[in-house]
């Protein structure tokens, strides 16, 4: 027994040893070597054995080789399967034109002899499978590089305008500077008025505003009314409609004076009066201007039902709004080709074609001095331009969505914007910042208008079918004008401050007055 156990232990011992040894068992090799030397039949045999053992003579077994071959074949077949699978997963358009375009993109012939659309598509699929993912990656990289290049190219640059532009600008400078001087001196004087007196005045005004009610309502057309404006003498109201017609209504009777028959064949965006029309300007002269969706701009007098002139150069782009320069000599138009234009009506010439917005320009407003113009666009930014130097003097950034309305305050340095994000912002040009944000409505703000001449309040119109009146320095809501059944598209305050008009999508326009006082 004891011997047996000893043997066992021995065996175990050997196994343990094996664990320690790193490669192969030396013992066996040694034994082999010994056996070889012992048997040593012929020297050559011995040498052969030794050669075999040391790996200099290799006798490969055939089966092994076959296996390797088979493995290679298998790998090949599997690769082929994978390739087919990849090709299957690639989506290729069924549109033959697109297939051809893709082929051309990859530098392949777009058509082989006797090849139909199906075969072509299959060929494209094979090619795409071959090129694989790196082609897509490469394209993305190229795109990024292109975008970067574009970004680098995007810098401010200037080009020289025509001689007429220089002339017009000089004229504008000579016109605006005395007005600015006058305005500033007036403001300085106003500043000297004691605060209590000013406050009392404001209180009175607010009281008046709080009593604003609907005076009359009139159906303006059988299509939505897009815009309305009082004549400078406050006796007329021009209303434009989506039917393509513009109508002139008498105020306060609200009776139709004239229908401008030879109007546009499409939605009319706006109709505006010349600043001196019905005042010092002859009725036969060019008193009104209207613009349409097809890019037509027409000029009207106060006598005829037909336009006296057309301004061409916008079509096929829509002209959304237009405005007269305070001097009446120039007309600014907003065009959907991302530009706004300045037309010299005396010279009957386009003096300025101004780019700068990255999306259509929607509204334009001129400063009371005639020195600046403010434009807003669907790119959610507004810009203030100096008409004399042609430079963008201020960039109004703050809205999130399209800015649809912009208006200069009569004080000459406040600008109000109304946007699709339901907010209205007040900008101060002197401080160069947004001084207040009015969360004005629960739908987009379609129009903003300061009180004419004084600028003591701001009226905003919205697609939530209300218009709201906000006090100027505090921006508190004074009054909500509710009554329309549809979105309010346009609004105006008469220059004599007696009336306020709103026109709406519900095809009516309404006149609002203050109950307690003559003026607003």
| Residues in 393-412 at the binding interface with another protein, rule: CB under 8 A | 393-395, 397-398, 400-401, 412
Q: Which residues of 44-57 are buried (b: 16+ CB within 10 A; e: fewer)?
A: eeeeebeeeeeeee
Judged by CB, which is closer to another protein: 9, or 355? 355
Told to check if 152 binds another protein by CB under 8 A, we report no
Termini Cα distance of the chain: 127
Instruction: Give how far Cα 360 sits from Cα of 70, 281, 378, Å.
Output: 68, 33, 6
Report the residue from 32, 40, 79, 85 that binds another protein according to the rule CB under 8 A.
Answer: 85
Report the residue from 159, 194, 196, 197 that binds another protein according to the rule CB under 8 A.
Answer: 159
User: Which tokens in the block code for residue 459?
Assistant: 């009226």
CB of 45 to another protein, least distance (A): 9
Told to check if 87 binds another protein by CB under 8 A, we report no
């320095």: which residue's tokens?
473
Told to check if 94 binds another protein by CB under 8 A, we report no
User: Which tokens in the block code for residue 99?
Assistant: 């297939």
Judged by CB, which is closer to another protein: 264, or 468? 468
Contact 440, 423 (CB under 8 A): yes
CB of 494 to another protein, least distance (A): 26
CB of 422 to another protein, least distance (A): 3
Contact 485, 478 (CB under 8 A): no
Residue 435 has a CB neighbour count (10 Å cut-off) of 13
Give residue 114's region: left, alpha or beta (phi > 0; psi -120 to 50): left
Told to check if 358 binds another protein by CB under 8 A, we report yes
Report the residue from 2, 61, 64, 156 that binds another protein according to the rule CB under 8 A.
Answer: 156
Told to check if 43 binds another protein by CB under 8 A, we report yes
Told to check if 317 binds another protein by CB under 8 A, we report no
CB of 130 to another protein, least distance (A): 19
* DSSP for residue 233: T
Please list every residue from 372 through 391 that binds another protein, using CB under 8 A.
372, 378-381, 383, 386, 388-391
Please list every residue from 58 through 77 that binds another protein, using CB under 8 A.
58-60, 62, 74, 77
Told to check if 148 binds another protein by CB under 8 A, we report no
Give residue 170's region: left, alpha or beta (phi > 0; psi -120 to 50): alpha
Closest listed residue to residue 106, CA positions, set 134, 143, 144: 134
Told to check if 461 binds another protein by CB under 8 A, we report no
- What is the Rg, in whole angstroms, of the alpha carbon atoms belonging to the chain? 42
Instruction: Give how far Cα 314 sits from Cα of 198, 273, 343, Å.
Output: 47, 20, 12
Report the residue from 13, 138, 201, 432 that binds another protein according to the rule CB under 8 A.
Answer: 432
Judged by CB, which is closer to another protein: 166, or 261? 166
Judged by CB, which is closer to another protein: 113, or 158? 158
CA pair distance 225, 237, nearest whole angstrom: 13
Instruction: Give how far Cα 71 sits from Cα of 7, 23, 58, 66, 77, Å.
Output: 46, 28, 21, 8, 10
Judged by CB, which is closer to another protein: 14, or 48? 48
Judged by CB, which is closer to another protein: 272, or 467? 467
Report the residue from 103, 236, 371, 503 that binds another protein according to the rule CB under 8 A.
Answer: 371
Judged by CB, which is closer to another protein: 83, or 223? 83
Element (H, E) at 173: helix 163-192
Judged by CB, which is closer to another protein: 5, or 60? 60
CB of 465 to another protein, least distance (A): 15
Please list every residue from 171 through 210 that binds another protein, using CB under 8 A.
173-174, 176-178, 180-181, 184-185, 187-188, 191
CA pair distance 409, 427, nearest whole angstrom: 10
**Exposed (0-12), middle (13-18) or buried (19+): which is 143, by Cβ within 10 Å?**
exposed
User: Which tokens in the block code for residue 50?
Assistant: 């030794």
* Phi, psi dihedral angles at 352 (to 5 degrees): -145, 130
Judged by CB, which is closer to another protein: 1, or 155? 155
């042609």: which residue's tokens?
390
CB of 478 to another protein, least distance (A): 9
CB of 348 to another protein, least distance (A): 19
Told to check if 163 binds another protein by CB under 8 A, we report yes
Judged by CB, which is closer to another protein: 4, or 19? 19
Judged by CB, which is closer to another protein: 274, or 399? 399
Report the residue from 11, 12, 14, 21 that binds another protein according to the rule CB under 8 A.
Answer: 21
Residue 264 has a CB neighbour count (10 Å cut-off) of 26
CB of 193 to another protein, least distance (A): 13
Told to check if 129 binds another protein by CB under 8 A, we report no
CB of 342 to another protein, least distance (A): 11
CB of 133 to another protein, least distance (A): 17
* DSSP for residue 16: H
CA pair distance 231, 228, nearest whole angstrom: 10
Instruction: Tell me, by CB under 8 A, how many residues bind another protein.
Output: 103
CB of 69 to another protein, least distance (A): 11
**Sign of the four-CA dihedral 23, 27, 30, 32:** negative
CB of 322 to another protein, least distance (A): 20
Segments of 170-308 assigned E as strands: 212-219, 225-230, 236-241, 246-250, 256-260, 268-273, 288-292, 297-300
CB of 70 to another protein, least distance (A): 9
């Amino acid at each position: 027994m004891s011997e047996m156990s000893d043997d066992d232990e021995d065996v175990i011992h050997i196994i343990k040893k094996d664990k320690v040894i790193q490669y192969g068992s030396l013992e066996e090799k040694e034994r082999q070597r010994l056996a070889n030397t012992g048997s040593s039949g012929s020297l050559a045999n011995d040498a052969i054995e030794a050669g075999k053992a040391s790996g200099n003579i290799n006798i490969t077994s055939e089966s092994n080789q076959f296996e390797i071959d088979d493995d290679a074949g298998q790998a090949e077949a599997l690769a082929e399967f994978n390739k087919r699978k990849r090709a299957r997963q690639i989506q290729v358009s069924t549109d033959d034109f697109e297939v051809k375009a893709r082929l051309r993109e990859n530098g392949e012939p777009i058509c082989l002899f006797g090849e139909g659309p199906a075969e072509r598509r299959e060929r494209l699929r094979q090619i795409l499978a071959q090129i694989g993912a790196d082609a897509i990656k490469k394209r993305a990289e190229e795109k990024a590089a292109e975008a970067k290049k574009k970004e680098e190219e995007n810098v401010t640059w200037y080009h020289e305008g025509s001689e007429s532009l220089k002339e017009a600008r000089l004229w504008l400078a000579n016109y605006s500077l005395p007005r600015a001087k006058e305005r500033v001196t007036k403001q300085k004087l106003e500043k000297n008025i004691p605060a209590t007196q000013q406050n009392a005045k404001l209180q009175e005004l607010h009281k008046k505003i709080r009593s604003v009610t609907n005076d009359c309502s009139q159906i303006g057309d059988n299509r939505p009314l897009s815009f309305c404006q009082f004549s400078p003498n406050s006796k007329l109201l021009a209303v434009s409609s989506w039917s393509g017609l513009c109508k002139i209504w008498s105020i306060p009777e609200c009776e139709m004076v004239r229908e401008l028959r030879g109007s546009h064949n499409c939605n009319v965006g706006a109709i505006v009066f010349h600043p001196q029309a019905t005042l010092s300007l002859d009725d036969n002269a060019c008193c009104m201007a209207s613009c349409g969706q097809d890019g037509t701009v027409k000029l009207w007098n106060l006598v005829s039902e037909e336009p006296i002139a057309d301004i061409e150069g916008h079509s096929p782009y829509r002209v959304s709004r237009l405005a007269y320069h305070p001097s009446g000599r120039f007309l600014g138009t907003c065009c959907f080709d991302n530009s706004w234009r300045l037309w010299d009506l005396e010279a009957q010439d386009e003096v300025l074609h101004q780019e700068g917005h990255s999306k259509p320009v929607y509204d334009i407003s001129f400063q009371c001095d005639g020195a600046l113009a403010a434009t807003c666009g669907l790119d959610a930014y507004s810009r203030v331009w100096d008409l004399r130097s042609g430079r963008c003097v201020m960039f109004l950034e703050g809205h999130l969505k399209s800015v649809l309305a912009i208006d200069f305050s009569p004080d000459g340095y406040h600008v109000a914007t109304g946007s699709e994000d339901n907010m209205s912002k007040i900008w101060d040009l002197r401080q160069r910042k947004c001084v207040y944000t009015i969360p004005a409505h629960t739908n987009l703000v379609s129009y903003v208008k300061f009180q004419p001449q004084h600028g003591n309040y701001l009226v905003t119109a919205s697609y939530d079918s209300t218009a709201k009146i906000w006090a100027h320095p505090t921006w508190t809501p004074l009054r909500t004008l509710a009554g329309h059944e549809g979105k309010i598209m346009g609004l105006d305050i008469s220059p004599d401050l007696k009336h306020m008009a709103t026109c709406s999508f519900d095809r009516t326009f309404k006149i609002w007055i203050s109950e307690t006082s003559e003026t607003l």
